[in-house]
Amino acid sequence: MLIPSDVAVQHSPALMASHIFEEIFNTAPVGSYLLSPTADATVLAVNDAFLHVSSLLREEMVGRSLFEVFRHNEADAEDTGVEALRRSIALAVQTGETQRMPLQRFPLWVTAEDGSTRYEERFWSAVNTPIFDADGTMLCVSHTTNDVTESHLTRRQLTASEQRYRTLFEAINQGFCLIEISFDEADEPVDYRFLTVNPAFELQTGLADAQGKSISELIPGRDRHFFDIYGAVARNGEPIHAQREASQLRRWFDIYAFCPDASVPNQVGVLFSDITEQRRNEERLLQSERSARAAARAALEATRRLDAVLEAAPIGIVVSDEHGAIERVNRSFAKLWGEEHPRPAKIDDFQMWKSRWADHSDKHGQLLNAADWTSARVLQGAENTRDLVSIENFEDPPATRTLLSTGAPIKDDHGKIVGAVVAQLDITDRVDAEKQLRRADKRKDEFLAMLSHELRNPLSPIASAAELMRVAPSNARRVSKASEIISRQVRHMTGLIDDLLDVSRVTQGLIKLNLQVLDTNRVAADAIEQVRPLVELKRHRLTFHSASSAALVRADEKRLTQVFANLLNNAAKYTPDGGAIDFSVAVRGKFVRITVTDNGIGMTPEVAARAFDLFAQAERSSDRSQGGLGIGLALVKSLVQLHDGTVALASDGPGQGTRFIVCLKHVETASEQMVENSPPTTDSPSLSRLRVLVVDDNIDAAETLAMLVDSLGNEVRVAQSGAGALAETENWHPHVCLLDIGLPDMDGYELASKLNRRPQTADAVLIAVTGYGLPQDKDKALAAGFDHHFVKPLDVNRLFTLFGAMASHRASEP
- At residue 165, the pLDDT reads 61
Is the pLDDT reported for residue 671 higher than 60? no
Distance CA 251, CA 365 (A): 79
Report residue 660's pLDDT band, with 50, 70 and 90 as the boundaries: very high
- At residue 625, the pLDDT reads 44
Kindly state the average pLDDT of the residues 154-176: 70
Kindly state the average pLDDT of the residues 110-136: 81
- At residue 163, the pLDDT reads 62
Kindly state the average pLDDT of the residues 344-370: 74
Mind listing the pLDDT tens digit for each residue in 71-105?
766 666 666 778 888 899 999 999 999 999 877 77
Mind listing the pLDDT tens digit for each residue in 674-688?
544 443 343 444 445
Q: Please list, residue by residue across 415-447, b when 16 or more beta carbons sit within 10 angstroms of its beta carbon and e when fewer do.
A: eeeebbbbbbbbbeeebeeeeeeeeeeebeebb
Report residue 713's pLDDT band, with 50, 70 and 90 as the boundaries: confident
Distance CA 581, CA 207 (A): 127
Question: Which position has the higher pLDDT, 199 or 341?
Answer: 199
Q: Which of 722, 695, 683, 721 is nearest to 807 (CA)?
A: 683
Kindly state the average pLDDT of the residues 264-272: 91
Distance CA 83, CA 85 (A): 5
Q: What is the DSSP string of 519-535?
A: EHHHHHHHHHHHHHHHH
Question: Which position has the higher pLDDT, 461 or 545?
Answer: 545
Catalogue all structural domains in the chain, each as residue range(s) with its CATH number.
Answer: 5-147 (3.30.450.20), 151-274 (3.30.450.20), 313-426 (3.30.450.20), 433-504 (1.10.287.130), 511-665 (3.30.565.10), 691-812 (3.40.50.2300)
Calculate the average pLDDT of the chain: 82
Kindly state the average pLDDT of the residues 11-39: 75
- At residue 169, the pLDDT reads 64
> Number of H helices and number of E strands within the chain?
25, 30
Report residue 692's pLDDT band, with 50, 70 and 90 as the boundaries: very high
Q: Would you give the DSSP letter of residue 214? A: B
Question: Which position has the higher pLDDT, 668 or 234?
Answer: 234
- At residue 195, the pLDDT reads 92
**By percentage, how much of the chain surpasses pLDDT 70?**
84
Mind listing the pLDDT tens digit for each residue in 170-211?
777 888 899 999 999 998 999 999 998 988 888 888 888 889
- At residue 737, the pLDDT reads 95
Kindly state the average pLDDT of the residues 607-631: 60
Report residue 803's pLDDT band, with 50, 70 and 90 as the boundaries: confident
**By percentage, how much of the chain surpasses pLDDT 90?**
30
User: Which 3-state string (H, E, C) describes 122-183?
Assistant: CEEEEEEEEEECCCCCEEEEEEEEEECHHHHHHHHHHHHCHHHHHHHHHHCCCEEEEEEEEE
C-alpha neighbours within 13 Å on the C-beta side of residue 327: 13
Distance CA 3, CA 14 (A): 12
Q: Which of 631, 636, 626, 627 is nearest to 614 (CA)?
A: 631
- At residue 454, the pLDDT reads 61
Kindly state the average pLDDT of the residues 722-749: 92
- At residue 524, the pLDDT reads 92
Kindly state the average pLDDT of the residues 687-702: 84
Is the pLDDT reported for residue 619 higher than 60? no
Q: Would you give the DSSP letter of residue 785? A: T
Is the pLDDT reported for residue 743 higher than 70? yes
Q: Which of 234, 240, 237 is nearest to 254 (CA)?
A: 240
- At residue 776, the pLDDT reads 83
- At residue 751, the pLDDT reads 94
Mind listing the pLDDT tens digit for each residue in 289-339?
888 888 888 878 877 887 777 777 788 888 888 888 888 888 887 787 777
- At residue 505, the pLDDT reads 66
Kindly state the average pLDDT of the residues 283-288: 88
Q: Which of 595, 597, 592, 596 is nearest to 520 (CA)?
A: 592
- At residue 460, the pLDDT reads 61
Is the pLDDT reported for residue 786 higher than 90? yes
Report residue 617's pLDDT band, with 50, 70 and 90 as the boundaries: low
Please state which of the ranges 54-63, 505-514, 645-654, 780-789 shows the lowest mean pLDDT.
Answer: 505-514
Question: Which position has the higher pLDDT, 25 or 257?
Answer: 257
